Homo-oligomer: A and B are copies of this chain.
């Protein structure tokens, strides 16, 4: 299986892309790759490229870029705004949300948020790894935590909000999303998931005063915050996002040709 790496540099035929020390270590020590080993590379802008590893001394190296394998595609513009949860669970949110195609991860501190410290670098590392694994052509942006009040006061005017509402005042999620008009479906979106203790009364009132908010219920069971985030994102992709389009048939050939099977 050809290693697939996210790089920062531009990708073009005949060019070189810098590899981080961690990437070189991973290629050499973990995967036991030597000079000339095949790589796949993406940077979120230029699609995916075939390349080859070239060491520079013992600890550093570059990727020499050969030909383009896939063009950059347009991805849904959907943010996940979530009250942070404990370490293993937040790793999991970053990984799963990346696979599910989120564009931006925004930790949000609310009245009942128990976990206040967020390791943004770690979140980003999880997102990069999940993007590499999931054949995504981009890595979600990861933002530093903000308060819910701060998030709402700076809310971008065009961006619609899907709020996971466990109070019972939201419509069932499929009905809420399927009933949107085409303009609303084409808009940029964000999904907001509160902490385990729920939003407090003042927060709920502030959210209900906002325009373009869709409050949706996720059934009769109490979901953990991480479960709710991923369930809502999956439903959003299925009903509003790019899961509405057929899965590309070439996917199977692509997988085979890349040694993924």
Task: Tell me which residues across on chain B come within 8 A of A167, comparing CB atoms.
Answer: 247, 249, 251-252
Binds B, one of A20-28, A58-66, A173-181: A173-181
- A31 contacts the other chain (CB 8 A): no
How far, in whole Å, are A133 and B223 apart by their CA atoms in the complex?
9
Task: Tell me which residues across on chain B come within 8 A of A100, comparing CB atoms.
Answer: 221, 223, 227, 231
Using a CB–CB distance below 8 Å, which chain A residues touch chain B? Answer: 73, 92, 96, 99-101, 112, 133-136, 165-175, 178, 197-198, 217-224, 227, 230-232, 234-235, 237-239, 241-252, 255, 260-261
Q: Is the CB of A245 within 8 A of B261?
A: no
Given the contacts A99-B224, A231-B230, A172 and B219 also touching, CB distance less than 8 Å? no
Task: Tell me which residues across on chain B come within 8 A of A165, comparing CB atoms.
Answer: 247
Task: Tell me which residues across on chain B come within 8 A of A261, comparing CB atoms.
Answer: 112, 197-198
Q: Is the CB of A243 within 8 A of B198?
A: no
Q: How far is the CB of A161 from chain B (nearest CB, A)?
A: 18
Q: Is the CB of A238 within 8 A of B174?
A: yes
How far, in whole Å, are A136 and B222 apart by their CA atoms in the complex?
8
Q: Is the CB of B230 within 8 A of A134?
A: no
Given the contacts A198-B255, A248-B168, A173 and B238 also touching, CB distance less than 8 Å? yes
Task: Tell me which residues across on chain B come within 8 A of A238, comparing CB atoms.
Answer: 172-174, 218, 235, 238-239
Can you list 15 A-B contacts (CB < 8 A)?
A: A101-B221, A133-B224, A166-B252, A167-B247, A168-B247, A168-B252, A171-B246, A174-B174, A174-B239, A217-B243, A218-B238, A219-B237, A220-B242, A231-B234, A232-B234
